[in-house]
Structure 1
């Protein structure tokens, strides 16, 4: 079971004051003022959400909603969390499951200070500052001839230490409705072998081989578009060539399954609402972009949960982690066993993944640069038109 520390242990909450960020009734309805975040960005886009601390997931977010400037608020995600960091080494000497086996919260979550959160605000839990909340510029968002719009985003991050590694889960919410979820990995290399040559690593110093390894990141996303998860559906889109050129082939995914990216067909997936539509009569939706799918890890038979790039399952409270599910005695053990042809007509859970293959290099010692791995959720007919076009100047 997920182990939650009592909310009564909350020590304090500091609010961002530089740009319109405040805790108000929108998010408080779901979680109370101490755990609510309400941020209006300079271009008018507004995000409301709640946060939660747990031993294993670290920081989870829930009741995530977005409101464009001069538009209406719409719910997007009922819950979103990092659901596994799987780290198998090439020599099979270690195959870690960091979220389920060690946990990103409690003592493994580092306390932050103001230097790590410039121009932002620190949010505390149990007397420790655990979240940095910032509003950041993100560069030019759009341009038409000599006029342009600068974009902004709400950024939240925490830092957890597992062994020699520091992980930085980061949640970014753009003023156009886009969400980017990523994890930075830094710290120090953890495992080595002696010698000058190795086919399972790379020489980083005299008689020292840094062992190569993978970071497999899994997220668990419970969509509730327009506030009703039972009305959501998954569509897979492939662009297939025929004599007339490329044509879009849309297929609903009706039962639990795992799927892979396919560069040949530019495959993508959208989560769409079955009833709510935009002004062009298109279902409001979000596209799931696995934009870092260039590296893949399909592990041994006992790690069948690594077989696919993305999974779609029926929502079940006990199916919490991509692997080493701690409810395996009363529930399925990992993603490979969550899939058993159940219907996706009810609430859907989306499990996007991405992989980073870490080949050690001399520059990784004594400390490595942070490397980022992530996914993107992008509005797809969510708006009637570009929500930032009206701010161009």
Structure 2
């Protein structure tokens, strides 16, 4: 929570969160940091940027991730030219042209204020210096903040490190005398941006199995000047019920520009399944799944038995199946108060002007509108861009002080048929592809 609108204060002290705060709010699947990551050797297909702006990491399981980074004056960290190369693949597989935050929209329950933190509250200016202990085993890169308010625009604010996430798989061998198991490894890239009393941790996890998880974690402090929710909407903080923290929502948007196998001509598909009661002679209900090809811009909602995928127009795996990435929404509380927050997912035709999901500062043409919902106007998708909206309704609690534990919101994209088998398959099992019989 931040101070009230009449006394907003921004702190630009070069202070970082503690490593304990970093670890405390890790999302499901996160684990302790590992040792210093070893830089991957240069490759012909390395990300197209100078060494200072290149992230290239070979994980201990054999997977290499490559990308470029830059820092935008409003969006903060932007990752570009992202490719994935698991062991056994002769060259990197491009996944995304760019990945970035699209907005953090914060409306207060009492209707007094709402904020668009990226375009209206100087999110990017609030980049924080990180202490070495906040990037265990990794590297802290120096970021030059555009149009910085400080005398020195250079901030030690970008951490790249590796982490274990627990079991990647476990399988009892068919001879019952061997267990196949592996611990999954992630490349973690993150920054911390202070906005008012909040400190937002923007993290990107690149897994050795090809999945990418993107999270925003809110931490920092509750605003002690804002314990004024006298309308009954707030939650009492501290002794008695005289101080009530104002409840509010965090609606985080991400913008993903896919380029599977290097082509932006990706195809979008939606899958819906229906479950029917057993008919005569059946022992269980039946489930039927239907594919819908999405050819025009769309606004969609997550629901049970529904999912989407982005399909490569040019690339296939070694089994001859089209490569794709499935969109895996995270837990969300959808905010119905604004038109652009009423839907979970938007797919729009690429427009270099359409960068922020609400209060977009660019002039995108007559009648284009300033929010993502206005850009869904029936255009044919030849270069689709995905916008994901994940909401969190923050009703404060005593445990939110002091400091406030990290509360996370985010989603993932998961490879579907990018490789012919699990990219982490052990050598003893790599012959078991498709219809196979036990060896005798």
What TM-score comes out, normalization by structure 1 length? 0.89
- Out of 309, 323, 327, which is 1:288 matched to? 327
Partners of 2:43 and 2:180 lie apart in 1 by: 36
- Out of 366, 376, 379, which is 1:342 matched to? 379
Give the match's secondary structure for 1:375.
strand
Alpha-carbon distance, 1:329 to partner = 6.5
Give the match's secondary structure for 1:378.
strand
Partners of 1:329 and 1:235 lie apart in 2 by: 27
Is 1:27–1:38's contact at 8 Å kept on the other side of the alignment?
Answer: no
Give the match's secondary structure for 2:340.
helix
Alpha-carbon distance, 1:118 to partner = 1.2
Is 2:36–2:161's contact at 8 Å kept on the other side of the alignment?
Answer: no
Distance of aligned partners of 1:333 and 1:234 in 2 relative to their CA distance in 1, 3 Å threshold: same
1:131 aligns with 2:167: no
1:238 aligns with 2:238: no
Partners of 1:369 and 1:29 lie apart in 2 by: 36
Root-mean-square deviation (CA), in Å?
A: 2.0
Query: Which position in structure 1 is the counterpart of 2:101?
Result: 82
Question: After TM superposition, what 4+ stretches of structure 1 lie above 4 angstroms from structure 2?
Answer: 25-29
Give the match's secondary structure for 1:123.
strand
Give the match's secondary structure for 1:100.
helix
- Out of 358, 361, 383, which is 1:323 matched to? 358
Query: Which position in structure 2 is the counterpart of 1:388?
Result: 424
Query: Which position in structure 2 is the counterpart of 1:269?
Result: 308
Alpha-carbon distance, 1:159 to partner = 0.3
Query: Which position in structure 2 is the counterpart of 1:311?
Result: 346
Query: Which position in structure 2 is the counterpart of 1:121?
Result: 139
Query: Which position in structure 2 is the counterpart of 1:356?
Result: 392
Is 2:330–2:409's contact at 8 Å kept on the other side of the alignment?
Answer: no
Is 2:353–2:364's contact at 8 Å kept on the other side of the alignment?
Answer: no
Partners of 1:297 and 1:29 lie apart in 2 by: 38
The CA deviation string for residues 151-189 of structure 1, in whole angstroms up to 9 with x for no partner, is: 100001100000000000000000010000001100112
Q: Gapped runs of 5+ residues in structure 1? A: 1-15
Query: Which position in structure 1 is the counterpart of 2:205?
Result: 172
How many pairs align? 368
Matches within 5 A, 1:1-393: 18-22=36-40, 24-25=42-43, 30-71=48-89, 72-105=91-124, 107-126=125-144, 127-145=154-172, 146-190=179-223, 192-194=226-228, 199-205=232-238, 206=240, 207-230=242-265, 232-242=266-276, 245-263=286-304, 266-293=305-332, 295-299=333-337, 303-328=338-363, 330=365, 331-344=368-381, 346-390=382-426
Is 1:23–1:36's contact at 8 Å kept on the other side of the alignment?
Answer: no
Alpha-carbon distance, 1:31 to partner = 1.6
Is 2:326–2:413's contact at 8 Å kept on the other side of the alignment?
Answer: yes
Alpha-carbon distance, 1:273 to partner = 1.1
Partners of 2:187 and 2:221 lie apart in 1 by: 29
* Higher share of residues assigned strand: 1
Is 1:102–1:162's contact at 8 Å kept on the other side of the alignment?
Answer: yes
Q: Gapped runs of 5+ residues in structure 2? A: 1-33, 145-153, 173-178, 280-284, 430-440
Tell me which structure has the larger Cα radius of gyration.
2
What TM-score comes out, normalization by structure 2 length? 0.80
Alpha-carbon distance, 1:23 to partner = 7.1
Alpha-carbon distance, 1:55 to partner = 1.3
Partners of 2:37 and 2:298 lie apart in 1 by: 43
Partners of 1:362 and 1:23 lie apart in 2 by: 49
Is 1:185–1:371's contact at 8 Å kept on the other side of the alignment?
Answer: yes
